[in-house]
Amino acid sequence: MDADQFEACWHAHIRRVVAYAERHVGRDASYDVAASTFLTAWRTWETIPSEPLPWLISVARGHVRNHHRSLRRRAGLEQRLELLDTSAATGADTGVTATERAEALRVLAAMPEQDREALLLVAWEGLTTEQAAEVLGCRPGTLRMRLHRARARIESTSSNPLPLSRSVQ
C-alpha cells in the first residue's frame, strides 16, 4: 500500500465523491458515504483500477444504497413502535411504568414479525395457541416454537419481565 498514492487519489477525487453522495443522501450523510468509500478504497487499494473515479463512484453508490436501506429499516422500526405504542395505550394494566412500557415496545419491535405476531395474538388478543396458529396459517407446534423464541428473546434482552400478559411469562 502506497500511502502517498492513496492521499493523491483522495485529494483528486474527494469533492466529486462527496458531490455524488450529496445528490443522493443529502449534505450531512454525504460525508459519511465519502468516508466509507475511501475506507473501502484504503482496504482494497491493490485492486483499484488506474483510473479510480468510476470505481470510487461505484463504491459510493453501494454505500448510498446501504444508507437508504438503513433509513427504511429505521422508518419501519419507528412505524412498528408507533403501532405497538398505540395498541398498548388501550391496555388495561395501569400499573405499568412508562419505562417498562417503553422497554416492552422496544423488545417487541425488534422481534421477527412472525414471533411478535404469535406473542401478541396469545398475550394481547387472548387466543389459545390453536386459535393463534389458525389465524397465522401454521401448525400449533410451529406457533408454540414461535412463542418459545419470543419468550426467550424477552428474557435475554430485558432485566425486568415485560408487561404483556401473565399467560406469556
Q: What's the pLDDT score for residue 169?
A: 37
Q: Do domains 3-74 and 96-157 have the same CATH topology?
A: no
Q: Which CATH number fits domain 3-74: 3.40.50, 1.20.120, 1.10.1740, 3.90.550?
A: 1.10.1740
Domain boundaries, given as residue ranges, for the chain: 3-74, 96-157
What's this model's pTM, rounded to 2 decimal places?
0.48
Q: What distances in angstroms separate CA 169 from CA 13, 55, 61, 83, one per listed residue?
A: 57, 53, 46, 22
**Mean pLDDT computed over every residue of the chain:** 82
Q: What are the pLDDT digits (tens) for 39-48?
A: 999 999 989 9
* Residue 168 binned pLDDT confidence (cut-offs 50, 70, 90): very low
Cβ proximity of 45 and 6 under 8 Å: yes
- Pick the closest to residue 84 from 108, 113, 103 (CA basis): 108
CATH level 3 topology of 96-157: Arc Repressor Mutant, subunit A (1.10.10)
Share of the chain above pLDDT 90, in %: 36
Instruction: 84-93: list long-range contacts, CB under 8 Å, 24+ apart.
Output: 84/108, 84/109, 87/124, 91/124, 91/163, 93/163
